[in-house]
Amino acid sequence: MAFIVVIPARYASSRLPGKPLADIAGITMIERVYRQALQSGAARVLVATDDERIAAEVRRFGGEVCMTAANHNSGTERLAEVVTKLVLTPETIVVNVQGDEPFIPPAIIDQVAKNLAAQQKARMATLAVPLTELAEVNNPNVVKVVTDKQGYALYFSRSAIPFDRDQTFTAKIAEHYRRHIGLYAYRAGFILDYVCWPSSTLEQIEALEQLRVLWQGEAIHVATALQVPAVGVDTPEDLARAVIFARQYD
């Protein structure tokens, strides 16, 4: 089962400009992400960027770059340009690995690709992990997902779903809370369909682009991740934690 990994990377970031080039214990963030992706068993790994500074860094460590336009509104739109440029067949499995996950476990990149390959109904797959901390359940920066009994997504939200009407948060209730991991596998043809769909109201309200897929009546399969990703990087504080983590585990 072959798949390719695309790592969208942009220089601009409101909270951490130049994030892909941030130094994490002597290795740039984009190189760390690339290294993890290479270990997943992907047939091909490439970085999609519109910034020559990022491209130069990727070339420096021997990675593959696909230069893309600067006017994309999302990583998925950047992926669509890659699909077109590489002339990928509609059934090709493409895994979108976020460029700010320097310690993403290679095993879950492989897992999400295999999960999609096994699907008959869904052209998109992703992962989630159980949530047991009340602070995370109520944190709008932690995206929650609810699925049906077959693992197909019913809804993604920044709110606590399912809502605990009695506010008891017992162990029985807690086991139903799941944190969505922003790792996606798609069929290449699906990516081209996605970017032709208009943004939905739900997507705009929640600021979650995967809601566009559910709005269109498409299925997203959600499996429980084999491993929980370590430190992701969105802010300077996250970067400081990532440096500490790297020094401990490199």
Per-residue pLDDT tens digits of the chain, which is 250 residues long: 799 999 999 888 777 889 999 999 999 999 999 999 999 999 999 999 999 999 999 999 999 999 999 888 888 889 999 999 999 999 999 999 999 999 999 999 999 999 999 999 999 999 999 987 888 888 898 899 999 999 999 999 999 999 888 777 666 666 789 999 999 999 999 999 999 999 999 999 999 999 999 999 999 999 999 998 887 888 889 999 999 999 988 7
Measure the CA–CA gap between 183 and 109, rounded to whole angstroms.
Answer: 8
Q: Which two tokens stand for residue 133?
A: 């901390």
Measure the CA–CA gap between 203 and 211, rounded to whole angstroms.
Answer: 5
For residue 99, the Cα-to-chain-centroid distance in whole angstroms is 9
CA-CA-CA-CA dihedral for 102, 227, 110, 85, to nearest 10:
-40
Helical (H) or strand (E) element with 134: helix 134-137
Q: Which two tokens stand for residue 121?
A: 């109904």
Tallying the residues shown for the chain, one arrives at 250
Q: Which pLDDT value is given to residue 225?
A: 96
Question: CA end-to-end span of the chain, whole Å?
Answer: 30
pTM: 0.93
